[in-house]
Structure formats: C-alpha cells, structure tokens
C-alpha cells in the first residue's frame, strides 16, 4: 500500500513541477512582442513574392491564396490562415489600424508601439480562449492578423512583422 501512495505522490509532484515550468501567456506575449520589435527594427527581408502590384516577403512554408488581390492578401501556413490588409490611402506613418484597435477593442491585450525612420508600427496579442490568441502586426497602412495557439506566439509574430515591414509604402 505504501508503494502505491509513494507512486501517486511522486506522480502528482512531477506533474506540478512540470506544469510550473511552462511560460505564462504574459511571458509568451512579451517574447512575441520582442521578436516583432526585432523584425521591425532589422527590416532585412528581401521581397520574394508579388500579388498584383504589391511586392512582399513571403516566409518559407507560407502560400498565397489565388483569391488574393492588391488590398486583401490571404496567406496560409499549414492549417493557419493569415489575413493581410493593405490600405493604399494610408502612408507608413499612419496610425489608422492602431487607433481602430484602441477604439473598438477594450479587451485585455499585450502590445507595443514601434517607430523608426518615419514608420509607425505595432504588435498586439489578444487572448481568444483557453489555448488561442489573435496576433496583429501592423506598419502604417498595412495590417496582418491571425488566430493561433499560444505556443506559436513568438515565431508567428516574427514572421508576421517581417511580412508587413517588407511592403513598400509612400510618405504622402
């Protein structure tokens, strides 16, 4: 009988210790935002895809839907969908997408604003359930969004910011 209790105790202790080692949503969000900030600042990805007259960087493994156009580009990686919105009436300093998010979404989110050489950008993470989050990256009049699992935050945020940062925008 003692062996059974000892086994159960050690099993519960192991589960408790291992679950405490996982990162919280806040920690994952901070890592994701840091990855997006690095991608925003580096801006080192060369364009390798074109949709109508929009040239952009498409990371490995991403595909572009044939139904995409110059203002709404649908990208996929595996079973995840990414929606890229391009407002040609906005310039690289535009705060439109950020202001809309601030005004319309009052839910708790993790975000940071970035500025560099006349560019305005931001990264935002919104909790959408037990294991899902909405990721948003934006630079000027360009916004990319997806819903993904919490474990994917850091890698997805980096890819997403690389994409939006690669698209050329005017000063207006």
Domains and their CATH numbers in the chain: 23-166 (3.40.1000)
Residues 87-104 have a mean pLDDT of 92
For residue 93, the model assigns a pLDDT of: 94
Over 50: is that where the pLDDT of 17 sits?
no
**Which residue's entry shows tokens 């931001």?**
122
For residue 126, the model assigns a pLDDT of: 94
Residues 14-39 have a mean pLDDT of 81
Residues 116-124 have a mean pLDDT of 94
Task: Please state at what angle helix 25-42 crosses helix 153-166, rounded to 10 degrees.
Answer: 30
Query: Residue 72 and residue 79: Cα distance in Å, rounded?
Result: 19
For residue 130, the model assigns a pLDDT of: 86
Over 70: is that where the pLDDT of 124 sits?
yes
Between 109 and 122, name the one with better pLDDT: 122
N-terminal to C-terminal alpha carbon distance within the chain: 78
Do residues 48 and 35 make contact, with C-beta atoms less than 8 angstroms apart?
no
Report CA 157 to chain centroid distance, whole Å.
Answer: 3
Over 60: is that where the pLDDT of 147 sits?
yes
Query: Residue 99 and residue 148: Cα distance in Å, rounded?
Result: 23
Over 60: is that where the pLDDT of 16 sits?
no
CB contact set of 170 (below 8 Å; sequence gap of 6+):
91, 92
For residue 6, the model assigns a pLDDT of: 59
Average of per-residue pLDDT values in the chain: 89
Residues 99-124 have a mean pLDDT of 90
Over 80: is that where the pLDDT of 7 sits?
no
Over 60: is that where the pLDDT of 19 sits?
no
- Lowest-confidence pick of 4-13, 31-40, 127-136: 4-13
For residue 108, the model assigns a pLDDT of: 75
Query: What would you report as the CA-atom Rg of the chain, rounded to the nearest whole angstrom?
Result: 20
């Amino acid at each position: 009988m003692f062996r059974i209790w000892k086994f159960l105790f050690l099993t519960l202790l192991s589960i408790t210790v291992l679950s405490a080692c996982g990162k919280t949503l806040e920690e994952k969000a901070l890592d994701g935002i840091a990855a997006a900030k690095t991608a925003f600042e580096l801006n080192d990805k060369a364009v390798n895809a074109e949709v109508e007259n929009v040239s952009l960087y498409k990371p490995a493994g991403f595909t572009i839907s044939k139904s995409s156009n110059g203002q709404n580009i649908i990208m996929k990686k595996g079973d995840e969908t990414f929606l890229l919105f391009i407002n040609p009436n906005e310039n690289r300093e535009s705060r439109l997408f950020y202001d809309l998010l601030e005004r319309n979404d009052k839910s708790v989110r993790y975000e940071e604003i970035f500025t560099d050489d006349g560019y305005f950008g931001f990264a935002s993470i919104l909790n959408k359930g037990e294991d899902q989050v909405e990721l948003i990256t934006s630079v000027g009049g360009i916004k990319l969004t997806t819903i993904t699992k919490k474990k994917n935050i850091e890698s997805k945020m980096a890819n997403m910011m690389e994409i939006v940062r690669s698209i050329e925008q005017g000063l207006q």
